[in-house]
Structure 1
Amino acid sequence: MITDIIAKLPMRQKELTLDFYKKLGFTVFANEFDYYLMLQKDNLQLHFFEFKDLLPKENYGQIYIRTTSIEKLYNSFIENKVPIHPNGHLAEKPWAQKEFSILDPDSNLITFGEAIN
């Protein structure tokens, strides 16, 4: 039986990735490893593997995170000075989602979405 899916994204520097995701409210989950990072916020886990030669402009890593209270989340990111993607400010989409997007330090695109009722 499948119970969860956990995104695994590339990172160049563990400390840089950790510092960025702490601003989003994530904390370290489980054990720490030299070249691997596991983070958690609420019921969501994200994993990161070291890829020192990653070229951020060539990174196509992406995840879509469903959320509730998206306006509150968006405003908390603004207050914490998390840069919003230039084309990803909070907006209602034709596919009945309200969304916004950010890029992490390695250009992984993180999109947050909430269903419009």
Structure 2
Amino acid sequence: MLTSVVPKLPFINKQQTVNFYVNQLGFTLRSDYGDYLIMDKDGVELHFFSFPTIVPAKSDFMIYLRVDSDIESLFEKCRQGSSAVKIITRLESKPWGQKEFAIADPNGTCLTFGEAYS
């Protein structure tokens, strides 16, 4: 029986990745095994593996993160955060009942955040 999904995402520069997820998105670094990291926030766990030759502009890594409230504040925090936060799509309501926006992390991974609306 499946119980959860834990995305594994690449990182080029470990410190940049830790700074981005901890300082910009509020994750906590739980484990650092050198070339493998584990972070979490609000019950969401992400794993990261060293991939120093990945080209961010050609990265095909994408994840969708559900938000249960206040996506507007999260978007504003990302929008007004450091220049490390690259906005891919602005916050908008989608026909499938989600308010969404997307950003790219320093490694080129697309992170889409979505909150249900009625």
Q: Secondary structure at the match of 1:85?
A: strand
Q: Deviations over 1:33-87 (max 9, x none)?
A: 010111111110111100111111211000000102211221222343363424x
Structure 1 residues without counterparts, runs of 5 or longer = none
- Over 3 Å counting, the alpha-carbon distance change for 1:92 and 1:84 in structure 2 is farther
Match of 1:42 in 2: 42
RMSD of aligned alpha carbons:
1.4
Match of 1:73 in 2: 74
Alpha-carbon distance, 1:3 to partner: 1.4
Q: 1:12 and 1:59 mapped to 2: Cα distance?
A: 11
Match of 1:85 in 2: 87
Q: 1:79 and 1:58 mapped to 2: Cα distance?
A: 26
Identity %: 39
Structure 2 residues without counterparts, runs of 5 or longer = none
- Over 3 Å counting, the alpha-carbon distance change for 1:100 and 1:84 in structure 2 is farther
Query: TM-score with structure 2 length normalisation?
Result: 0.89
Q: Secondary structure at the match of 1:95?
A: coil
Query: TM-score with structure 1 length normalisation?
Result: 0.90
Runs of 4+ more than 4 Å apart:
none
Match of 1:5 in 2: 5
Alpha-carbon distance, 1:111 to partner: 0.1
Q: Secondary structure at the match of 2:9?
A: strand
Say which structure is richer in strand: 2
Alignment coverage as a number of residue pairs: 115
Q: 2:85 and 2:34 mapped to 1: Cα distance?
A: 27
